[in-house]
Amino acid sequence: MPHLTVRIWRGADEGEYQSFSVPMRENQTVLDVVSEVQRSQDQSLSYRFACRVGVCGSCAMMVNGKPRWTCRTHIRSLKSGVVTIAPLRNMPRIKDLVTDMSGFIDKWGKAGNVFESERDRRDAPVAVDPSSPRRKAADAAIECINCGVCHAACDVVSWNDSYLGPAALNRAWSLVNDERHSRKKETMAAAMGDGGCGNCHSQGNCMAACPIGLSPTRSIAGLKKMSLMSLLGGSDV
């Protein structure tokens, strides 16, 4: 049986790649390979996963330099006899393939991303028109499951520590377009603040890397437009 060479990051910020040889199989994902190494060669290897079918987003890692869901990345599709696997970029490393995602999650909070409603259970539900432009804009951004792939793909995040990043701003975009959200002004103020949408260079790495095809680039462009309108006095938030 042919074998695949896998280079896996070991350690935290200080560390090195360790090579393993894994049997090549007909249908094999990168997550399968990491699991096989952990189960049959080195049980001290740390990594994260949960669902294994592209629902939870917890198995994201850098595969041959690109952030990807390892459970949805077939070894065959990489067209490479050597696979290099590292923890997600732009996040502190804890051990091996596990990163500390708390900074990434905190940035969601900093972008004003907690949904607030002025209504309670006694009020009738808001009638939301699914065909309104606002709702369509929110719907286009709303499927994000917070896996961190776009955050790892973003160069601006790597250059600028205060930048909130594509995931947090994409969430802010879905909220400012949600007619039920009662704190749109606060969300908008955070999204156009110092670490906000004005820092984005529209490189589109987030959009290219998103495993479910969302476009944080487009969401951030929407926030930029809204910010400029509000600074020019024509706010429609």
Where along the sequence are the contacts to other proteins (CB under 8 A)? 156, 159-160, 189, 192-194, 196, 198-199, 224, 227-228, 231-232
Q: Cα–Cα distance between 77 and 63 in angstroms, integer? A: 12
Query: Minimum Å distance from CB 89 to other proteins?
Result: 16
Q: Between residues 107 and 224, which has the closer beta carbon with respect to other proteins?
A: 224
Q: Cα–Cα distance between 117 and 128 in angstroms, integer? A: 14
Q: Between residues 193 and 204, which has the closer beta carbon with respect to other proteins?
A: 193
Q: Between residues 58 and 90, which has the closer beta carbon with respect to other proteins?
A: 90
Q: Cα–Cα distance between 156 and 11 in angstroms, integer? A: 26
Query: Minimum Å distance from CB 224 to other proteins?
Result: 8
Q: Between residues 18 and 160, which has the closer beta carbon with respect to other proteins?
A: 160
Query: Minimum Å distance from CB 130 to other proteins?
Result: 32
**Helices of type H across the chain:** 30-40, 75-78, 102-110, 133-141, 149-153, 155-159, 166-176, 184-191, 205-209, 216-231
Phi, psi (rounded to 5 degrees) for 70: -70, -25
Hey, is 113 helix, strand or coil? coil
Query: Minimum Å distance from CB 181 to other proteins?
Result: 20
Query: Minimum Å distance from CB 206 to other proteins?
Result: 17
Q: Between residues 22 and 206, which has the closer beta carbon with respect to other proteins?
A: 206
Hey, is 77 helix, strand or coil? helix
97: closest CA among 105, 88, 109? 88
Q: Between residues 48 and 224, which has the closer beta carbon with respect to other proteins?
A: 224
Q: Maximum Cα–Cα distance for the chain, whole Å?
A: 68
Query: Minimum Å distance from CB 192 to other proteins?
Result: 5
